[in-house]
A and B are shown apart, each in its own frame.
Chain A
Amino acid sequence: MCRLALKTASEPFSPFTVLQAMEAMQEGYDGSGLGLLLRGLQFVDYSYKPSDPILSGIAHTEDALFRLHAFMQDRGFGLKYDHEFEVDFSKIEAKDRHKYILRVYNKPVAWASLSPEEIEYQMMLTRLALRKDGEDHGGDLTIFAFWPDVAMIKEVGWPLGVGEALKLDSHRIKSRICMAQGRQNTNWGINLYACHPFFIQGIATMTNGENTAFIPIKDWLTGKGFPAYIGYQSDSEVFAHILHYVVKQLKLPLQAYKHIITPLKSEELKAHPQGDFLLGLRDACRRLIIDGPNAVIGTLPDETCLLVMDAKKMRPATIGGKPGEWAIASEMCGVDAMIPDRDQSLDFQPMRQHTVIVPPDRQEFKIWSQFDQFPLPQAA
């Protein structure tokens, strides 16, 4: 079983606090891996400009690192900052780690004329090209993200152990959002790409549970022909891609995500103020209906955080906190560990119809029900 923890706070904090929460929930997982996503970054030794893209990944060999250099240089990316982790390799289980990459780049001059959307597309293509380069060379280069203000770390081992090995406890990196997931892929062999959170164009999700409708969803997404709808080393990767599809491709409001992955019944939709639109949307997106016991936790580029459950609410998840600081975890003890000094009676466990949204201002979290009307300008 996987364990999930997310913390979002107006004041940047060290990811190590989230790793401690993972430790609190340790009974539930086998310690086979850790995935971390940091958003809203602050470096102790570097003043980061949040529009500069950050490359996250692992170079497993020196050769891969050289190729990476050359690749970025050829395309006109200027290296602005190279974060050196003080790694204690003896504490890392895997033996083929040459360098953990966390590098800030300047965008190529040629991109100056591109629209924001085109730039996003180009960043995605850059990530995919590097990933492919690694795959073409026996997997010697693993790339998790290439995006402004996002850093990702994935490693095999106990979360706290990995954190210590990478000296995350030195608090040199801080962020306003930290997503952490413990445990590797549930269904297949150990593969760094199979580790949550999953990332695509600024959108990230992590999930616990199994996605039994994986193959039909994957087949459908793959058929879309979008270059980044690839991978699927884990059945949970589709949750991130569906969120991306809803928000970026269909340009629907965040609330539509829940309507697409766990639509209401026909009878319920008949009574819904936007039932007519939603019924058609359900049919059109029928292949994206998820079917596992799942809790999905996600974050968006504007630092919005969300939490949704499967349609039968077969997985636990809790949100708690106080204005300016919220924690979401698969276990209540995880929330306790992240924000102990909160009013526990205000904690909330969403039910099947709920989407919990923490807006970027972090003053309160919003509970949105599928039965409610939601803003839908174009189809009103």
Chain B
Amino acid sequence: MVSIRSIPSTPSSLTTGDLPWIIEHREDRCTLCGRCTAVCPVYAIRLTYMRQRMPRLVLSSSERGSSYRTFVGIRQKTEIANKCIGCGTCAMVCPNSAIKPVPNPMFDRFRFQSTVGGEPIKRGGRRNDPAPGLLDKIIFTRISMLTDPALDAGRHEFFLNTLLGRVLSPEEYIRRKTAGEWIPPVREIFPFIIGSMSFGALSPNMWLGLLQGVAYCNEVLGIPVVMATGEGGCPPWVLKSPFLKYIVLQIASGYFGWDEIIRAIPEMQCDPAAIEIKYGQGAKPGDGGLLMWFKVSKLIARLRGVPEGVDLPSPPVHQTLYSIEESVMKMIQTMSMAWNFRVPVYPKISGSNSAKSVLNNLVRNPYAGGLLIDGIDGGTGAAYNVSMDTMGHPIAANVRDCYLDLCAQGKQNEIPIFAAGGVGKTGNVTQNGMALIMLGASGVHMGKYIMQAAAGCLGSEQNRCNVCNIGICPKGITSQNPKLYRRLDPDQVAQRVAETFMAIRTEMKKIMAPLGRSQSLPIGMSDAIGIGDESAANRLNIKYIC
């Protein structure tokens, strides 16, 4: 046995078999074009010289021995910083199908070394739990068989929209209308909303594509889709455009981008759809927003009013506020006032056992326009892995509890609850959304799903890709590097947005028609759903079915 010192082994030495993704490369197909190595976002592969022994089988002893050939081949790097992320970009560009990443079927050892440098893993994406979620297990059981003619999803007219904003009780509405008093603003919108993703997190092309798609849905398809900015503002040309009415502006603890927004108010042609005050995010409860320096380009720096190339962590709390009561009251009032009480203002919180308390607080605040609860399966552009994987509350029970609480007070029509966090995680976006609506949500927000459906995001809950935080997004979705984001054609994104919403609209009808619903969104129609898991059924107060 040789001395240990002569082998290059450190505690963090890994072999390719220790990594989460292993590159399979077929020398026989490779033409050494080098495209894969040029495109790999983490430089996980390199072209390298290798030597191959060529044994010679000859009889005469003088000619025995080996000869060697030198050749150029592909090697996977095993350094921590260059571990393959499984994005598959190499496979996508290879003209000969000579290379592809495969998930390590064994328990990888990389996870024990991921703290090298003293910094735990940070990443983008969702909680790494690839199993189908609870929402996927909910099915629609109350098929209306008693009374035909049943509805025809293809021919009948369906009312699919929801309301965003504070709705008064009928008594109070009539009283105020008679007295000529203020009626809170309400928006009629499509119940599937593009959830908040900031202009800094997304590339300019992605953002443009989304906005184009949303405008097309509204103006051509008649689907009133709205999209939310994350923290970090909105480009001035959008603020002053007629498209602002499709946009929910977010304000978060860093207040990034709000200088630009406030300055643009006098020049706005229309009001924004709503204002979202972010108190928490399902993917990383207790954390503020985080835009890492890689992504703070000149444009982003200008929008946010900060220097270029610095990390932009928002504080976890709104520094000016002391408690959620005060916060909700002051912020909602301030934001309402900025637009003269013409724009609904609502808070976004992370799913939590305490969601009900926040909700009850909002019920008593006459300016609160709703509550968005973001569950543990929500996505993010950047967070610590531990926050993403282990912090938060699943959305279904949270929404249900809050809805039933409102029902007990007879207020379920007054404060709309919106749900987010893992909607469409396994692709069943309409089913997931409708299940949440029947549990009591007025609508759902989806972020990651839209990135996957509209822009081909490669991320998955097997921890594929998920490097959104460091500006190297291989699809150009979450990068501020023009070389990368030019890969993404905004027109194509817009087309996919439109296609996605058309499909959701059709699927909604396909769900609602057999349930005999077409005149209004079946919010809280809990008799229509069931689940084959008795404890979940009890917890959600829906039917157990088998």
Q: For chain B residues 130-166, which have a beta carbon within 8 Å of chain A?
A: 142, 144, 146-147, 149, 151, 156-157, 159, 163
Q: Which of A214, A225, A283, A292 lies in contact with B167, CB distance below 8 A?
A: A283
Nearest chain A CB to B296's CB is how many angstroms away? 42
Closest to B442 in A: A286
For B224-267 the 0/1 string (1 means CB < 8 A from A) is 00000000000000000000000000000000000000000000
**Contact, CB under 8 Å: A212 / B516:** yes
Nearest chain A CB to B436's CB is how many angstroms away? 15
**Contact, CB under 8 Å: B413 / A215:** no
B522 near A: Cβ within 8 Å? Answer: yes
**Contact, CB under 8 Å: A224 / B520:** no
Interchain CA distance A314-B149 in the complex, whole Å: 7
A230 near B: Cβ within 8 Å? Answer: no
**Contact, CB under 8 Å: B173 / A281:** yes
B527 near A: Cβ within 8 Å? Answer: yes
Q: CB-CB < 8 A to B171: which residues of A?
A: 249-250
Of B404-412, B417-425, B463-471, the one contacting chain A is B404-412
B14 near A: Cβ within 8 Å? Answer: no
Nearest chain A CB to B248's CB is how many angstroms away? 19
Q: For chain A residues 130-188, which have a beta carbon within 8 Å of chain B?
A: 186-187
B524 near A: Cβ within 8 Å? Answer: yes
Q: Which of A283, A285, A292 lies in contact with B147, CB distance below 8 A?
A: A292
**Contact, CB under 8 Å: A280 / B413:** no
Interchain CA distance A5-B413 in the complex, whole Å: 35
Interchain CA distance A214-B525 in the complex, whole Å: 8
- Contact A280 to B519, CB < 8 A, known contacts A223-B408, A286-B163: no
Nearest chain A CB to B278's CB is how many angstroms away? 26
**Contact, CB under 8 Å: A219 / B524:** yes
**Contact, CB under 8 Å: A379 / B147:** no
Nearest chain B CB to A188's CB is how many angstroms away? 11
Q: For chain B residues 167-188, which have a beta carbon within 8 Å of chain A?
A: 167-174, 177-178, 183, 186, 188
- Contact A378 to B516, CB < 8 A, known contacts A215-B525, A220-B412, A223-B407: no
Nearest chain A CB to B371's CB is how many angstroms away? 17
A266 near B: Cβ within 8 Å? Answer: yes
B518 near A: Cβ within 8 Å? Answer: yes
B281 near A: Cβ within 8 Å? Answer: no
Q: Which of B147, B151, B170, B412 lies in contact with A219, CB distance below 8 A?
A: B412
**Contact, CB under 8 Å: A281 / B411:** no
Q: CB-CB < 8 A to B524: which residues of A?
A: 215-216, 219
Most buried by B among A1, A222, A281, A379: A379
Closest to A286 in B: B413
**Contact, CB under 8 Å: B411 / A223:** yes
Nearest chain B CB to A229's CB is how many angstroms away? 10
Q: CB-CB < 8 A to B167: which residues of A?
A: 283-284, 286
**Contact, CB under 8 Å: B163 / A312:** no
Nearest chain A CB to B127's CB is how many angstroms away? 31
Q: CB-CB < 8 A to B147: which residues of A?
A: 1, 186, 209-210, 292-293, 314
**Contact, CB under 8 Å: B526 / A215:** yes
A101 near B: Cβ within 8 Å? Answer: no
Interchain CA distance A42-B537 in the complex, whole Å: 54
**Contact, CB under 8 Å: A292 / B516:** yes
Interchain CA distance A277-B149 in the complex, whole Å: 33
Q: CB-CB < 8 A to A314: which residues of B?
A: 147, 149
Nearest chain A CB to B137's CB is how many angstroms away? 21
Interchain CA distance A210-B527 in the complex, whole Å: 14
**Contact, CB under 8 Å: A213 / B410:** no
B472 near A: Cβ within 8 Å? Answer: no
Q: Which of B144, B156, B177 lies in contact with A379, CB distance below 8 A?
A: B177
Interchain CA distance A213-B528 in the complex, whole Å: 10
**Contact, CB under 8 Å: B522 / A216:** yes
**Contact, CB under 8 Å: A223 / B178:** no
Q: CB-CB < 8 A to B149: which residues of A?
A: 293, 314
- Contact A220 to B519, CB < 8 A, known contacts A214-B527, A293-B147: no
- Do most interface residues of chain B lie in helix, strand or loop, or is the interface mixed? loop
- Contact A220 to B159, CB < 8 A, known contacts A250-B174, A281-B170, A379-B177: no
Q: CB-CB < 8 A to B520: which residues of A?
A: 213, 286, 289, 291
Nearest chain A CB to B521's CB is how many angstroms away? 9
**Contact, CB under 8 Å: B517 / A291:** yes
**Contact, CB under 8 Å: A379 / B410:** no
A290 near B: Cβ within 8 Å? Answer: yes
- Contact A210 to B519, CB < 8 A, known contacts A287-B413, A379-B178: no
Q: CB-CB < 8 A to A311: which residues of B?
A: 519
**Contact, CB under 8 Å: B163 / A213:** no
**Contact, CB under 8 Å: A224 / B410:** yes
For B9-34 the 0/1 string (1 means CB < 8 A from A) is 00000000000000000000000000
Interchain CA distance A378-B168 in the complex, whole Å: 17
Interchain CA distance A285-B168 in the complex, whole Å: 9
B274 near A: Cβ within 8 Å? Answer: no
B523 near A: Cβ within 8 Å? Answer: yes
**Contact, CB under 8 Å: B173 / A213:** no
**Contact, CB under 8 Å: A290 / B519:** yes
**Contact, CB under 8 Å: B186 / A210:** no
Interchain CA distance A210-B159 in the complex, whole Å: 19
- Contact A291 to B174, CB < 8 A, known contacts A223-B409, A266-B188, A283-B167: no
Q: CB-CB < 8 A to B408: which residues of A?
A: 223
**Contact, CB under 8 Å: A212 / B515:** yes
A201 near B: Cβ within 8 Å? Answer: no
A95 near B: Cβ within 8 Å? Answer: no
Closest to A225 in B: B410
**Contact, CB under 8 Å: B519 / A187:** no
For A259-287 the 0/1 string (1 means CB < 8 A from B) is 00010011000000000010011011111
Nearest chain A CB to B528's CB is how many angstroms away? 8
Nearest chain A CB to B6's CB is how many angstroms away? 75
Interchain CA distance A212-B519 in the complex, whole Å: 10
For A48-76 the 0/1 string (1 means CB < 8 A from B) is 00000000000000000000000000000
Q: CB-CB < 8 A to A222: which residues of B?
A: 407, 410
Closest to A294 in B: B147
Interchain CA distance A77-B156 in the complex, whole Å: 54
Interchain CA distance A379-B174 in the complex, whole Å: 7
Nearest chain B CB to A242's CB is how many angstroms away? 11
Interchain CA distance A262-B174 in the complex, whole Å: 19
Q: CB-CB < 8 A to B170: which residues of A?
A: 245, 250, 281, 284-285
Q: Which of B157, B174, B409 lies in contact with A378, CB distance below 8 A?
A: B174
Closest to B165 in A: A283
Interchain CA distance A245-B410 in the complex, whole Å: 14
Q: CB-CB < 8 A to A249: which residues of B?
A: 171
Interchain CA distance A262-B517 in the complex, whole Å: 12
Q: CB-CB < 8 A to B163: which residues of A?
A: 283, 286
**Contact, CB under 8 Å: A216 / B146:** no
Q: CB-CB < 8 A to A216: which residues of B?
A: 522-525
Closest to B519 in A: A291
- Contact A187 to B146, CB < 8 A, known contacts A210-B516, A283-B163, A286-B413: yes
Interchain CA distance A291-B158 in the complex, whole Å: 11
**Contact, CB under 8 Å: B519 / A223:** no
Q: CB-CB < 8 A to A280: which residues of B?
A: 168, 173, 177, 183
Q: Which A residues lie at the B interface, using CB under 8 A?
A: 1, 186-187, 209-210, 212-216, 219-220, 222-225, 245, 249-250, 252, 262, 265-266, 277, 280-281, 283-287, 289-293, 310-312, 314, 378-379
Q: Which B residues lie at the A interface, using CB under 8 A?
A: 142, 144, 146-147, 149, 151, 156-157, 159, 163, 167-174, 177-178, 183, 186, 188, 407-413, 515-520, 522-528
14 new A-B contacts, CB < 8 A, other than A286-B167, A287-B413, A289-B519, are A209-B147, A210-B144, A212-B142, A212-B515, A213-B522, A216-B523, A216-B524, A219-B407, A220-B413, A224-B410, A265-B159, A283-B186, A284-B173, A291-B517
Give 27 CB contacts A-B under 8 Å: A209-B147, A210-B144, A210-B146, A210-B147, A212-B515, A212-B517, A213-B525, A215-B524, A215-B528, A216-B524, A216-B525, A220-B407, A223-B408, A224-B410, A225-B410, A250-B170, A280-B168, A281-B174, A284-B413, A285-B170, A286-B163, A286-B413, A289-B519, A314-B149, A378-B177, A378-B178, A379-B178
